[in-house]
Structure 1
Amino acid sequence: MPLTAEDVDRFEASRPRLETIAYRLLGSAGEAEDAVQETFLRWQAADVDRIGVPEAWLTKVLTNLCLNQLTSARARRETYVGQWLPEPLLGGDPMLGPAETVEQRESVSYAVLTLLERLAPRERAVYVLREAFDYPHREIAEILDITEAASQQILHRAKKHVADGKTRTEIDRAAARRIVEEFLAAATSGQTEPLVRLLTADAIAIGDGGGKVPARARAFEGAVAVAKFLRGLFKPSEAKRAIVGGSPEVHAWTANGEPAVVVVLDGRVVGVMCLEVTAEGIAAFRNQVNPDKLERATAQWATSGHGEPLFHAF
């Protein structure tokens, strides 16, 4: 039976929530949109009049589609060129979803999305549904076809895995800008020492070029190694201008709630570097330069009042 206009409206009312769930589960805005569209096709094919609680039905369908996607994604990432990092979402993107609680903000941070890659698909689903969307274990159990006790045990295990990674410090947009500006001043000073002072002793720097943009296959580790890499990264050169096709603008912004450096060339976002900030200093730099993972960021950037760049790189 074809969907009525009311049936379509009911789905569209749920679309923003479904997209935010799918993004947290998959770490990819593009894949999240595809999963939500597939959920719509399932809704279109269903006898919707017999569905008692549409929101619960849609969440279950979406979550299980994402679980299947995560399972196949693990195999694909074994052949991925270089390091794999999530797709960053710039500040103001509606797919970032709710941010009223610490747990909600933490669950979509770039640092935690990276840590979630360590979890088994079901662990990730339980963690996201409980921590980010406050689903009770009874509903999570129904969505995943497990018991409430199993849901509780899985959440405990998942939270331990995430807690074993570094935790960030809560930062507002003004503070994020100050941190980025201080970092960029040190990175462009031509000296290593100012950068080392901003970093934790075990800081890392990692990049994702997807085989399309040059990026080191292994992370830089340790404050000195990271500082030397960053100093070289921001050192002007004709070779770098040739690679990116010009002299890009460098902006201080936020991505996934974290301080970020956004690099823009002719209106196109060509790099997003997320800074993981702890009480001890900057613990990680995660640099997304794979153009396939920056299309949404470019669209979001075009609609944001980002102002003038701090400077032009290279």
Structure 2
Amino acid sequence: MNKKEIIEIFKEKFPEFKFLIDEPMKNHTSFKIGGPADILFIPRNIEQISKVLTLCKELDIDYFIMGNGSNLLVSDKGIRGVVIKISENLSDVRVEGNKIIAQSGILLSKLSRIALKHSLTGLEFASGIPGSLGGAITMNAGAYGGEMKDIVTLVRCIGGNGEIIEFTNEQMEFGYRSSIIDERELIVIEVEMELKKGNYEDIKSYMDELTQKRITKQPLNLPSAGSTFKRPKGYYAGKLIEDAGLKGLRFGDAQVSEKHSGFIVNLGNATCNDVLNLIKVIQKTVRDKFGVELKTEVKIIGEK
């Protein structure tokens, strides 16, 4: 089935849904890189996700689930099939005592501010992570000694047949930047988190301190996808890259950040190929000099 036929079917089946055709993915990623998605779908509710997912399965159409796009490197050719973007349309949140129950489209920065408002501690580490809750659960996002697995009690997902499945913290099999979500092709829709009662001023002070650390150490003024590489056991990726003499190295407009070598930044018009070439050189140089294999933390997707 070609792109034109898929688009016609989607328009006919779901005339009221919001679809963007041939939408440049650079408009939807923090890296500001990526070619067009055949169809970008932004659901308004969980029922819409289930309907589109069911149709994709029935017709054997490729689909990809994304959140805020803060950890993605999309190919220059773009993405074939359907991209389902779970964003602010699915960001409802409620607070019940020490518990926060939130839909997966909410940004972590917003979620941490809600926790602060209710004097709940435990989410401070996430206040500067640019992603959405769904993406953070999928990769067990973490920073400054905290991880999502530390606070999550229950995760609700859409399964392969459109059914709702619940997973406890233990069933999620959280690891370093991993969970069962990708492996089982699940879609996170809602998360329950348990925090602790704290002091508003103490929580705010810690969040401010972490914000200051990020501003000082990370290249927040340029598009990137955060840390490019996972932390190798016993090492720090950024230090290895800097010690290998690669700080500032660039291919086209993709550059190893001069502020933090663990980040690759987009100086303006970087392509996916620029970034991939830079990643290969970094991996080879670090492997040759230190015998350490750097694995990408950024998720590389799209047509090759």
TM-score bracket relative to the smaller structure: 0.3 to 0.5
Q: Quick check: which one's helix share is greater?
A: 1
Structure-2-length-normalised TM-score: 0.32
More strand per residue: 2
Q: If the length of structure 1 is used for normalisation, what is the TM-score?
A: 0.32
